[in-house]
Structure 1
Amino acid sequence: MPEGPEIRRAADRIEKQLTKGIIEDAWFAFDELKDYPPRLIGQQVDKVETRGKAMLVRFSDQHVLYSHNQLYGVWKCHAADKVPVTRRSLRARLVVNGRAASLYSASDISMWPADRLDEHPFLARLGPDLLSQAVGEEHIVQRLMEASFHRRGLGGLLLDQGFVAGLGNYLRSEVLFFAGLSPRLRPCDLSEAGRRRLAHFILSLTWQAYRTAGVTNCPEWIEKAKSMGESRRQWRFSVFERQGLPCHRCAASLEKINVASRRLYFCPQCQSM
């Protein structure tokens, strides 16, 4: 499943597609949204935001289209008169200046008044979005020590969208490796410097993955991995997908375990308790 950086990049494409004119056409597959197309025609898309893995399309009439891709949903941008060739089911389409943004296969779609968006049951449970909201390292440090989080193992906590929204499985492994922390440690086990180092990499690697289309590795380690014949699936990461390969930092063999029912990759030497 795509993580926050991938959803934010998709939102950027949709925003570019839809924010430079008025809505010429709109269509929704679900009966509960059938009344909205005539109301949206002539309106504008003001902004496209993300909240973790959810997307928010904000309209000038103060309504917001919420969608969550879940496992199979995908947005496609295309010319309105050239329908994409796909076996996926169309769920929503918005057209501006002859260009369309179409949502396929997603089932979690709804329309909300902007001033009631915080009542959405999924959004209400989310922590701050690292890419669409103003989140600094200090804010993350403070959240690490909140009662809901400070005694939880880092391996599970970093997947909890209620802690921060947008982190997922590959970012979890990468953040813990660069921070030099075992997934078994808890925020309360760390020194103040350790919590700040963790907060730094939570934020910086999420932004790096957004800017580089999912590459979280260091340039010098990427060149080293390429010289060893690693595929992009491996060299884009420092540890994720690299089980059995040498750690770029210490040359120990990288390992894989399951934490919170998801695979986690780590260096047993660099990330020892």
Structure 2
Amino acid sequence: MPEGPETRRAADRVHEQLAGRRLEQVWFYFPELAQEAASLIGREVSAVDSWGKALLTRFDDGRVLYSHNQLYGVWKLHDAEREPDTGRSLRVRLVAEGRAASLYSASDVSLWEAHRLGEHPFLSRLGPDLLTHGVTVGQAMSRLQDARFRRRGLGGLLLDQALFAGIGNYLRSEILFFAGLHYQARPVDLEEGALAQLAGAILEVTRQAYDQSGVTNRPDWAEADRRRGASRRRWRFAVFERDGLPCHICHTLIQRYSVASRRLYVCPRCQSAP
């Protein structure tokens, strides 16, 4: 499933396609939404952003279209007169000034008043989005020290969307590696410097994944891997999916574990157990 950076990049593409334009056509597959379609004609798409793995299309009357791609949903952008070549099932189509954005195969779509988004059954359980909500290092440190999170092992905690929205499996491995922390470490046990390093890694690795289309590796390490003929799957990450390969720092072989029912990759020397 795409993680926060991929969802935000998808939101950016839909934003570029529709934002600042007035809707000419609106179509919904879902009966409860279909009755609202006509009321959106003539409304301007004011912005498209994301919260975790959910995409939020905002209209100038204060309403927001919530959509979650889950495993199979995908937005396709196209000219209004040219149907995308796909066998997927159409769920939403928005057309503004000849430009169209069509959502296929998603099942979780709803229309909300912006001021009521906090009541959404999914969004209400999420922590702040690392790319949308302007989280600072200080705020991230404070959140990690919150009573709900501070005594939990980082291997499971980082996947908890109540902590920060958008961190998934590859980000978890990469964040812990660049923070130099074992998955069993707990925020409560970290000195202030280590906590600040963790908070910084959370923000920096997530931002790099967004800026570089999923690449979280250091540029020099990635370039060295490319020169050796490594595939993108290998060179894009520092540790994720690199089990059995040498650590870029110490050359110890990367190990794979199952933590919180998900695979996690660790350098046993750079990330020694607490």
If the length of structure 2 is used for normalisation, what is the TM-score? Answer: 0.98
Is it true that 1:29 corresponds to 2:29 in the alignment?
yes
- Match of residue 140 from structure 2: 140
- Match of residue 198 from structure 2: 198
Deviation (angstroms), 1:228:
2.4
Superposition pairs of residues 91-170 of structure 1, within 5 angstroms: 91-170=91-170
Deviation (angstroms), 1:87:
1.6
If the length of structure 1 is used for normalisation, what is the TM-score? Answer: 0.99
State the distance in 2 between where 1:256 and 1:232 align: 19
- Judge conservation of contact 1:243–1:253 (CA < 8 Å) in 2: yes
- Judge conservation of contact 1:5–1:166 (CA < 8 Å) in 2: yes
- Judge conservation of contact 2:54–2:68 (CA < 8 Å) in 1: yes
Is it true that 1:210 corresponds to 2:185 in the alignment?
no
- Match of residue 73 from structure 1: 73
Which consecutive unaligned segments of at least 5 residues does structure 2 have?
Answer: none
- Judge conservation of contact 1:93–1:103 (CA < 8 Å) in 2: yes
Q: Deviations over 1:111-135 (max 9, x none)?
A: 0111111100111100000111121
State the distance in 1 between where 2:7 and 2:234 align: 21
State the distance in 1 between where 2:62 and 2:128 align: 22
Which residue type is aligned with residue 215 of structure 2?
Answer: V
Which residue type is aligned with residue 199 of structure 2?
Answer: A
- Match of residue 264 from structure 1: 264
State the distance in 2 between where 1:116 and 1:185 align: 37
State the distance in 1 between where 2:253 and 2:83 align: 48
State the distance in 1 between where 2:18 and 2:223 align: 38
State the distance in 2 between where 1:144 and 1:116 align: 27
- Match of residue 20 from structure 2: 20
3-state SS, counterpart of residue 203 of structure 1: helix
- Match of residue 240 from structure 2: 240
- Root mean square deviation of aligned Cα: 0.8
Deviation (angstroms), 1:49:
1.4
- Judge conservation of contact 2:20–2:46 (CA < 8 Å) in 1: no
State the distance in 2 between where 1:112 and 1:190 align: 41
- Judge conservation of contact 1:20–1:96 (CA < 8 Å) in 2: no
What is the aligned residue count? 273
- Judge conservation of contact 2:149–2:163 (CA < 8 Å) in 1: yes
Which residue type is aligned with residue 22 of structure 2?
Answer: I
- Match of residue 90 from structure 2: 90
Which consecutive unaligned segments of at least 5 residues does structure 1 have?
Answer: none
- Judge conservation of contact 2:256–2:263 (CA < 8 Å) in 1: yes
Is it true that 1:48 corresponds to 2:87 in the alignment?
no
Deviation (angstroms), 1:230:
1.4
Deviation (angstroms), 1:229:
2.2
User: 4+ residue runs of structure 1 moved beyond 3 angstroms?
Assistant: none
Deviation (angstroms), 1:35:
1.4
Deviation (angstroms), 1:193:
0.6
